[in-house]
Structure formats: C-alpha cells, structure tokens
C-alpha cells in the first residue's frame, strides 16, 4: 500500500507532502516551536483530508541526523551472512545495542553494502507523534544526501 502523504520530519519541524502524478507536492509546514503546534498539525491534517477525503495515510520521513549511513564490506553472499556481518560492523558504532537498531541495505558495488541504521526508539517516537496527530503512519523512509 502506497501512502498518499508523507510527513517529512526535521529537527525544526514537519512538512506534509502529497503524492501526485507529478511527484511529491508540499502541502504545508509547521515548526516544533509553534506555540499552537497541535492546531497547526490539525490544520495540516484537515488540508490532507480535503485532498484525500477517503482517508489519510502517511509515510514518515526520518531526519538524516537520526540515521547512521555507512558502507560495510561483506564476504558472504546470502542474506543471513550479510546480516551477521552488518551487525558485527554496528557494534560500538552507536550508543545503542545492536538489538535496539533497525537497518536496511542496498548493494553499492561488488562486496560493498550501503547501510542505513536507525534506533527503534527513534522510529517509535516518530510513529507515536504521527499517530497522536492522526496522520495514520504506515511506513518509514529517508532521503539520504
């Protein structure tokens, strides 16, 4: 299921994006310092409902500042071996235990994997925020540099 909207979360605030045939269009933005943040988020959600009256579902775009990007050299070729080598490379790289991290990877070239890592806690906080403000989050994404 592809969500119709994305909440692009940054250190400063939230931008609501709408998926269209022409790509993602900016619907609106608010800062976390907004003195009436709940009302601003409610306005964004109401605007989204005006664009999609059957309901709003969103993907949550996690800020790059919350994601560790790294390249990992692997020697194994199957999925389980790659996971094991990625997890070994993550030990001590973050303040979190590896079991408290979520990661995904893509093959960069040859035996090099490009890995994106985020704390489960970060995902839970983003999901709770979006759920509290009724944006119906269904997935997570990132926009790497």
**Predicted local distance difference test score (pLDDT) of residue 135:** 97
What would the pLDDT profile of 50-103 be if each residue is shown by its tens digit? 999 999 999 999 999 999 999 999 987 788 999 999 999 999 999 999 999 999
**CA 76 → CA 73, 84, 86, 99, 103, distances in Å?**
9, 9, 11, 21, 18
Please compute the mean of the pLDDT values over residues 9-24 and round it to a whole number.
Answer: 96
pLDDT surpassing 80 at residue 34: yes
Task: Provide the 10 A C-beta neighbour count for residue 69.
Answer: 12
The confidence score (pLDDT) of residue 78 equals 86
For residue 60, CA distances in Å to 6, 10, 41, 84, 88 come to 6, 11, 14, 27, 28
Q: What is the pLDDT of residue 117?
A: 98
Give me the chain's average pLDDT, please: 95
> Using one digit for the tens of pLDDT, what is the confidence trace for 38-58?
999 999 999 999 999 999 999
Question: What pLDDT band is residue 118 in, cutting at 50, 70 and 90?
Answer: very high
Residue 77: per-residue pLDDT: 78
């Amino acid at each position: 299921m592809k969500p119709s909207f994305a909440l692009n979360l940054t250190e400063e605030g939230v931008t609501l994006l709408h998926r269209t045939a022409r790509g993602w269009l900016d619907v609106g933005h608010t800062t976390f310092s907004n003195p009436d943040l709940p009302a601003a988020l409610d306005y964004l959600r109401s605007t989204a409902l005006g664009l999609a009256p059957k309901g709003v579902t969103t993907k949550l775009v996690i800020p790059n500042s919350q994601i560790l990007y790294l390249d990992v050299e692997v020697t194994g070729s199957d999925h389980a071996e790659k996971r094991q080598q990625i997890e070994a490379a993550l030990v001590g790289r973050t303040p979190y235990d590896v079991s408290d991290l979520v990661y995904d990877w893509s093959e960069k070239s040859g035996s090099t994997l490009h890995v994106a890592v985020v704390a489960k806690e970060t995902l839970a906080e983003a999901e709770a925020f979006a759920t509290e403000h009724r944006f119906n989050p269904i997935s997570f994404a990132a926009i790497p540099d």
